[in-house]
Amino acid sequence: MQTKDRSRHFIYTDWILIETQFDPDQLQSKETVFTIGNGYLGTRGSFEEGYPHSLPATFINGVYDDVPVVYTELVNCPDWLPLIVIVNGDRFRLDQGEILSYDRQLDLRQGLIIRALRWRSPSGNTIDISFERFASLADPHVLALRCHLTPIDFDGLIEIQASINGYPENQGFNHWEGLDQGKTDQGIWLQRRTRHSRIELGMGAKVTILGAEASLQVNTAPGYPTLSTTFLAKAQQVVTIEKLVTVFTSREIDTPVSAAQEKLAHLPDFATLQKANEQAWDEVWQQSDILIEGDSTATFAVRYNLFQLLIAGPPNDDKVSIPAKTLSGFGYRGHIFWDTEIFMLPLFIFTQPAIARNLLSYRWHTLPGARRKATHYSYKGAMFAWESADSGDEVTPRWALGNDFYGEDVRIWCRDREIHINADIPYAAWNYWQTTGDDEWMQKSGAEIILDTAIFWASRVEFNPERQQYEIQGVIGVDEYHELVHNNAFTNRMAQWHLEKAIAVYDWLVEKFPKRAKELEEKLQLTAQERSHWQDIINKILFLYNPVTELIEQFEGFFQLEDINLADYEPRDRSMQPILGVEKINKYQVIKQPDILMLLYLMRESADFPYSKKALQANWDYYAPRTDITYGSSLGPAVHAILASDLGKSTEAYEVFMQALMVDLEDNRGNTSDGIHGASAGGIWQAVIFGFGGIQITENGPVANPHLPDGWTRLKFKLHWGNKWHDFDLHRGQGGMGTRGQGDKGTGGQGDKETRGQGDKETMQITNAQSPMSNSQHPKSNIQGFIFDLDGVLTDTAELHYLAWKKLADEEGIPFNRQDNEALRGVSRRASLMLILRDRPYSEAQIQEMMERKNRYYVELIQNMTSKDLLPGAIAFLDELRQAGIKIGIGSASKNARTVIERLGIADKVDAIADGYSVEQPKPAPDLFLYAAKQLGLEPVQSVVVEDAAAGIEAALAAGMWAIGLGPVERVGSAHIVLPSLEGIKWADLRAKLSDIAR
């Protein structure tokens, strides 16, 4: 299935994001969207050749450096991308010359970016240029880039300059000082060091030229080592440039330069590296993939959000975490918030537990910084930073600098008052332990986190003798619109919960690991009196709660604030804080993000107080209408989606889920250029699994009680719990489903209850084509996808092709009529032109010009196409297949197939497109249909091809697929079934006929 957001020029397939048009106004946000990475580093989706106002960046996790005002930030590392192409003296760039075609794709299955375009230089030379790049998941220190160049209408000189840019900036600030650089037998290398943190970086690069006689020269301009070459390119000949890069830092090895050089010397070629990368991604997706059927947008966008987290999770480093904006942008300076533990971590706990362990171990390694913060504020124990970097010390800026030069700076109070993070991190540690049973990590690291932060709470609470209760005053709750409140319910209950678990962990340590318990008692000065104090706080902490209605007051005095109707402020395009102002918003019952509802969500899994169905309903009714869910915080919509789903509000749940799902793909908050919304991405996973999947953790493992959104026909995923995998395959209308052990692939669905249609049985002809299935296989259960040709099958673009060829032939004085046009069905553009020209002498340049001219005429004609140009029966048949859960692909030799699909308005009904750009060998070779099946994730035997041309039928049969021919038997008679058209055709009838053939 495909959907297209016209303003973003995106098409979504199941696995691939396709950008169909370059829009310079969206340059920086698209750079974020096309970020790739491997957990060690992330590289924004900037162009290899550069572009004005671009924000290129490669962030290596853990490489921080100090900077004025913002304390410390994740450093933009030397840029490995630069690859300059100069065509007969004209430098290739998208702000010069003319873009004749453009296509950029992000393939989530292997973390691969492909950009293909046709460019006409200012001097009039036309060239096809394509770039591919990936950050290897198989070897995190390897980066690979490949470029294909094909001159279209000229022979000439092409110059290549492949560089490492040693002068990257963090929006105007350069963190690097030069140490050395040079060349080796393999290529070039660069040595840099951060100015304050003194982290050393070594980077190497080598270039290989294929398809042309070329020798490389080295230019070692300071900070910008370059490999360059100039060669003579011939029209229609492909030249390939491979650029391979290695990178190390002193964080992981003492000699990063020699390590980079050594690895570079032994690297295989691009294709070999790509295969290893693809295999590594296959293993990750085997564990982390979520399959959704029935919702084309969600199918891709859920995977996209997972991808952005998976490329930020550190696989081999337990001293780093995931910044709020992942490794994709400059937002929040690469700082780490509670976002990681509460929103992102569950994905890793249940699908990549080794990475989850690393993320939590980062907090253990940064306990010294948390202790320094507690001491600074005159508290005991460990007080985690609201924003953390490499050391764990507080790095939240004290002041926010506004855009108004004469305006007042804004004090950022989160660093001082938003202390709930001190319970959020132990909450995550506890849940990791409960899910994985990792006793070794808990006794070594987790227990120290939980106990030392509990000591903080005992020093932070205040006893109120009048109330005879403990209070926590002067805080910011999860709702950050109110900056100085007392007894925030979330903070108080989470502190209480934390102390309860701290006692449980201590008791467990004494029983199971007494030596470690003794070590921590001495190290943390943890006495019996301290533990007794914890219990007293648990018993007496203030919690503002009505036991009759179960309504919770967000903080003391919240109900006395002025009420607000957010609908009165619509329409709007910003949050309520700038509308009301920082001071005024404190006086209203308006909430930035779920606070009480967030508490209920965190207590929901274990059904701990105050969670109950009644409490959820009462607090939802009160707080949801007062929450600025659209613009307040990107953390909110996913949480609302889960709770709304619990309450049976399926429409509302899906609406807010889509807000979260598309926050970066559609840039619906206008700040995607700052980086990926990591917490929202993590919330998406939780919304799908815990919300729509209804997963609940029982003593025996996870159990599903699904309530799938309208349109979702299937939801499939796996979870790791109790040291084994549990597979879930949920279907619409399905009731609760129990735990599934490793290897248990049962679906638990209710079966496929289809009503067989009548169809036009008089005109359906069965041919003698050989079945692609063995007798033991059955189409009813095996066929999972249809691949349609466009011309003559779904629409009659054949007429438009004829008119375009006719116009060209008339201009060239060549006889051409409709009878001649019949020979062109299913034939490529070049082969068609050869049939028209017959033996007339034309040069290659003239042939290329005529093909372009014909295509120009055709493109002009298809701009007038609409859904009215669909052939009879096409839309009904596509809809019926979708209802039956059948995947749909397009297999068309046309390079304009995507445009035709968009004009016909059927992009949302298509899962994958194979077009003239997809493969080199046209029909009757099977390549096009095999490519389409691969995009659909299907085997050939599971696929049915619908074609109207003999070459297409031949290609389908050669691919080992079922073939349905539309048209006269003399043309498509070798197909398994021949139909006059799709009008009146029913899938049930076709399935029955194919079953007969198989038997």
Of residues 480, 521, 530, 666, which has the active-site annotation? Answer: 480
Beta carbons of 189 and 203 less than 8 angstroms apart: yes
State how far Cα 114 lies from the chain centre. 16
Contact between residue 211 and residue 154 where contact means Cβ atoms under 8 Å apart: no
DSSP string, 310-369: HTTS-SS-SS----TTTTS-SGGGG-B-HIIIIIIHHHHHHH-HHHHHHHHHHHHHTHHH
Please write down the HEC assignment for all residues of 250-264.
CCCCCCHHHHHHHHH
| Pairing of the two strands 962-966 and 943-947 | parallel
Cα 548 → chain centroid: 44
Rounded distance between C-alpha atoms, residue 429 and residue 346, angstroms? 11
Pick left, alpha or beta for residue 591 (phi over 0 → left; psi -120 to 50 → alpha; otherwise beta).
beta
Cα separation values, 291 from 13, 294, 467, 728, Å: 13, 10, 53, 10
Contact 894, 797 (CB under 8 A): yes
Residue in 769, 729, 788, 772 with CA at minimum distance from that of residue 942: 772
* Residue located via tokens 């999947």: 693
Task: Give the span between the Cα atoms of 344 and 346, in whole angstroms.
Answer: 6
What is the C-alpha to C-alpha distance for residues 495 and 489, in angstroms, rounded to an integer? 10
Number of H helices, E strands in the chain: 33, 36
Residue 325: closest CA among 659, 29, 599: 29
Residue 379 corresponds to which amino acid? Answer: Y
Q: What are phi and psi of 677, to 5 degrees?
A: -80, 85
Supply φ then ψ for residue 403, to 5 degrees. Answer: -80, -20
Q: Are 790 and 894 in contact (CB under 8 A)?
A: yes
For the sheet with 224-233, list strands across it.
90-91, 83-87, 156-163, 224-233, 217-221
β-pairing, 912-914 with 887-891? parallel
CA-wise closest residue to 964 among 979, 985, 942, 983: 979
Our answer to whether residue 480 is catalytic in this structure is yes
Is residue 423 within 8 Å of residue 453, measured between CB atoms? yes
- For 13, which DSSP code? -
Q: Please count the CA atoms within 13 angstroms of the CA of 425 that sit on its side-chain side.
A: 35
List of residues 6+ apart from 710 with CB closer than 8 A: 650, 651, 654
Three-class DSSP category at 393: coil
Residues in the chain: 999
**Under 8 Å between Cβ of 330 and 35:** no
Nearest by Cα to 900 from 865, 851, 927, 855:
865
What does DSSP say about strands 943-947 and 785-788: parallel, antiparallel, or unpaired? parallel
Give CA–CA dist 983/440, Å, rounded.
65
Q: Are the C-beta atoms of 203 and 224 separated by less than 8 Å?
A: no
Amino acid at 952: G
523: helix, strand or coil: helix
Tokens of 793: 């099958």
Interatomic CA distance for residues 107 and 897, integer angstroms? 19
Residue that the structure tokens 């209802």 belong to: 883
d(C-alpha 147, C-alpha 150), whole Å: 10
Catalytically active residues, by annotation = 480
